[in-house]
Amino acid sequence: MKGFLAFLLLVSGSAFTQESLVTVKEEQKGNRLAFYALNEDEKPYDVLFEVKGTNFRQSAARPRLTRVPATSKVHLKTIILYRDKKPQYTYTLTTNDSLSKRALKKEYTIIEVAPRPIQPKKQITIYTTPNCVSCDSIIQRLNENLYIFKHIDLNEKAKVKEGLSAALGEPLDSLKQPIINLGGHLYTWIKDYETLLSELEK
């Protein structure tokens, strides 16, 4: 917001999460400035929110943990701005994934959250060759389901192709399925997306 000095400080400690998808949104109506927690994660959090500064007033009540359900928007606090004065403030947001029975449970609004990329348990690298029958299908399914993976076209990486051929002890152009590296292990017999997912879970 123009004219405001605002900093978001993410505080973490031994009992608190170091990373979360909870952010703060500010909404001003007249001389009131409201703060909302936006949780874009698929799990709930308890948050502790505090505002400090000058040229505004706020409730003197001690900040309390507030429950922010998964994929939701929750009102945290509203401050009253002094007329004809420029407010200066900072705020802190502490998130905790260990939910407390004492946390305030306010009304909330469910928000739409864009699907997030999936980081698989094992790193996936797909090496493709000209005669690969199932390569396009596997790569398409991985992309559709937002898996994070690497794709290397061996026609464009001569040295990589040479090294893989030596490691496998066979020419690669004759292969009709992809060469897949899962967590450092090479597979030449995975022919479809479902088999790939099965091997990922092992």
pLDDT of residue 7: 33
d(CA 157, CA 127): 10
> pTM of this prediction?
0.61
pLDDT of residue 155: 87
- Domains of the chain as residue ranges with CATH: 8-110 (2.60.40), 124-200 (3.40.30.10)
| pLDDT values of the chain reduced to their tens digit, one per residue, 202 residues | 333 333 333 333 323 334 568 999 999 999 999 999 999 998 999 999 999 999 999 999 999 999 999 999 999 999 999 998 999 999 999 999 999 999 999 999 999 988 888 899 899 999 998 888 889 999 999 999 999 999 999 989 989 998 998 888 888 887 888 999 999 999 999 999 999 999 998 8
At CB < 8 A and 24+ separation, what contacts does 179-184 make? 179/126, 179/127, 179/129, 179/154, 180/124, 180/125, 180/126, 180/127, 181/123, 181/124, 181/125, 181/127, 182/122, 182/123, 182/124, 183/121, 183/122, 183/123, 184/123
pLDDT of residue 26: 96
pLDDT of residue 170: 81
Torsion of CA 63, 67, 72, 74, to 10 degrees: -30
